Amino acid sequence: MNYSQTIDYLFSSMPSFQDIGCDAYKPGLDRITAFCRYLGNPQRNFYTIHVAGTNGKGSVSHILASILQQAGYRVGLYTSPHLKDFRERIRVDGEMIPKQKVVNFVDKHHAKMSELSLSFFEMTTAMAFDYFDQSDVEVAVIETGLGGRLDATNIITPLVSVVTNVGLEHTEYLGDTLRKIAAEKAGIIKPNCTAIIGPQPHEERVMPILMEAAERNHATLVRDGYEMEVTDRVPAVGGQIATLHTPNGVYEQVPIAKFGEHQAHNALAALAAAEAVIPVNGPLNGDLVGQALQGVKVPGRIEQIRTSPTIILDGGHNVNAAEALRKAIEESYDFTQLVGVVAMMGDKQVEEYLGVLEPILSQVVVTENSWRDRVMPAEELEKIAVQVFGRDRVIREDSLPDAIQKAVDMVDVEDETGVGYGRGVLVCGSFVTAGDARTLLKERMNADLAKPKAERVNPSVGEPEPRTGTGDPARSGVESDADADFATDANPDFNENDFGDFGFDKAAKEAAKEADAADGGPKGGQA
């Protein structure tokens, strides 16, 4: 099989939570334990840091990996979900796993995977462990998929366990109370590790559970607001500047290339975790920390990808994530008009999520993303949105490209100055939504996207004229890496025809089909 065929095989033969939801969830460690034993237990051949939590674990993982890499370690990073390419989940020193490595792993082990009835996530986790071992990784940052105690990643014995915040999500799997969910997250706290605990919005119910797990395992406890804290923070261009206190010392005026107070606390947790791994007395080198935090890219987390008008993508999908998003936008932007483009999964707290964002959104365009088996139908989402925003502020567009185009038209029409200042579009509700939009807006551009607003919209008419054509073939394949940096003053003006027969069936499958060519420090001790 080539890479494209391999990805098709994985999605068709293994249940994926990202794809089909609850039917893919297989709690328990027996299958992953048996498969990793068959592989030779590669997860024991490098040091590990384990990261769990309701929100923030992806950002903490990326920031932590960046700090360790800047410190000179060979670093593995395992995260989920992916936005565009399956390979985003598995990285070494920032580089995605080569396509041929994915192909080889599946070709070699597919019979055993089938025998054990592995889930998609279990297979991916084992592939990451195996690749990190082959790549002579010294330290691997491992993000949980769901929960902690019974998550497939929880066969490691980490040096550091990080629990970000704990909120009510996935209650059908993790428990229907905060205490039960906290107990599941606390399952990653292992004997004699350092336990980093992020800020807890429900501290009185959650913190006793986490502290008891740390005490039972003789773990060194480092809590946000106690043993570590953010003491000063001001917004800045492209993010913020903060002063961070950790058990090892003080980091003054650290630049953080992410928006929002929650990202300062994510950086704090990552920094404290790095201190527990890197053998130094006192704080880490300030220049090293600054370079690491300034250079972190976390796609789909309050990610601004366009200006004039501003277009922001955010993959958060629960109430806590919505609250963080709202605070970050209120703090970092001065919008007079912000149009939301929202597509959400049917198993989320949709009304509550929309309610948090209602004060900052002028209008909302409800739509659907590519994950047809899980996405809430646009018609159903519209009914909920009308209850929250009122009929006059809600528009329905069943296709995501049309929805983004509609939102851009709305802010373009109201922009009398022609520069897009104070006007923006927020695409949010799911990581799948963010990934689909990212593919549209970054990787599948056409020549019209470079046109100034005056050539796209006739202010005297108030509606953009319809365009024809198939785009500029010379732009195909631009910025194929999901983390590639991008900046433009253009804003999207497209329709579905601009992208050929894309259809959004699967972002990962589409990415895999673009090319099938193969991509071409000493080990730590037993973890």
pLDDT score of 47: 98
Residues 324 and 185 placed together within one structural domain of the fold: no
Asked whether residue 171 is assigned to any structural domain, the reply reads yes
CATH number at residue 502: 3.90.190.20
Question: Which residue, among 486, 168, 143, has the nearest Cα to 322 in the 3D structure?
Answer: 168
Residues 187 and 324 placed together within one structural domain of the fold: no
Element (H, E) at 162: strand 160-163
Residues 207 and 66 placed together within one structural domain of the fold: yes
Distance CA 507, CA 435 (A): 8
Residues 350 and 207 placed together within one structural domain of the fold: no
Residues 23 and 164 placed together within one structural domain of the fold: yes
- List, as one string, the DSSP characters of 209-257: HHHHHHHHTTPEEEEBTTTBEEEEEEEETTEEEEEEEETTEEEEEEEES
Asked whether residue 297 is assigned to any structural domain, the reply reads no
| Residue 176 token pair | 């229907």
**Residue 487: DSSP 8-state:** -
Distance CA 65, CA 297 (A): 11
Q: Are 67 and 292 in contact (CB under 8 A)?
A: yes
Q: Are 150 and 28 in contact (CB under 8 A)?
A: yes
The edge-to-edge listing of strands for the beta sheet with 90-92 is: 95-96, 90-92, 75-78, 139-143, 47-52, 160-163, 194-197, 220-223
- List, as one string, the DSSP characters of 255-322: EESS-SHHHHHHHHHHHHHHHHHS--SSSPPHHHHHHHHHS---TTSSEEEETTTEEEEE---SHHHH
| Residue 489 token pair | 């003053």
CATH number at residue 75: 3.40.1190.10
Per the structure, the count of domains in the chain is 2
| Of the residues 195, 229, 263, the one at which a domain ends | 229
Residues 220 and 343 placed together within one structural domain of the fold: no
Asked whether residue 45 is assigned to any structural domain, the reply reads yes
Asked whether residue 522 is assigned to any structural domain, the reply reads no
Asked whether residue 276 is assigned to any structural domain, the reply reads no
Q: Are 123 and 10 in contact (CB under 8 A)?
A: yes
Residues 52 and 139 placed together within one structural domain of the fold: yes
pLDDT score of 135: 98
Instruction: Check: pTM over 0.85? Answer yes or no.
Output: no
> In which domain, by residue range, is 491 found?
303-513
| Of the residues 179, 203, 229, the one at which a domain ends | 229
How many other CB atoms are there within 10 angstroms of residue 181's CB atom?
Answer: 26
pLDDT score of 16: 55
CA 101-436-300 angle, to 5 degrees, is 80
Handedness of CA 291, 292, 298, 303 (dihedral sign): negative
Asked whether residue 283 is assigned to any structural domain, the reply reads no
Question: Which residue, among 10, 125, 117, has the nearest Cα to 78 in the 3D structure?
Answer: 125
Look-up: residue for tokens 């519209």?
382
Residues 214 and 351 placed together within one structural domain of the fold: no
Residues 204 and 340 placed together within one structural domain of the fold: no
Asked whether residue 252 is assigned to any structural domain, the reply reads no
Q: What is the mean pLDDT of each run of 10 residues along the chain (527 residues)?
A: 92 64 67 98 98 92 96 96 90 97 97 94 97 98 93 97 87 80 96 97 94 97 97 89 95 91 95 95 93 85 85 89 92 93 90 96 95 87 97 96 94 66 91 89 51 43 34 32 28 32 38 46 37
Residues 65 and 164 placed together within one structural domain of the fold: yes
Q: Are 372 and 381 in contact (CB under 8 A)?
A: no
| Of the residues 202, 229, 256, the one at which a domain ends | 229
Q: Are 161 and 192 in contact (CB under 8 A)?
A: no
CA 17-21-24 angle, to 5 degrees, is 55
Element (H, E) at 404: helix 400-414
Asked whether residue 288 is assigned to any structural domain, the reply reads no
pLDDT score of 23: 52
Residues 91 and 207 placed together within one structural domain of the fold: yes
Residues 340 and 464 placed together within one structural domain of the fold: yes
Helix (H, G, I), strand (E, B) or coil at 48: strand
**Residue 464: DSSP 8-state:** P
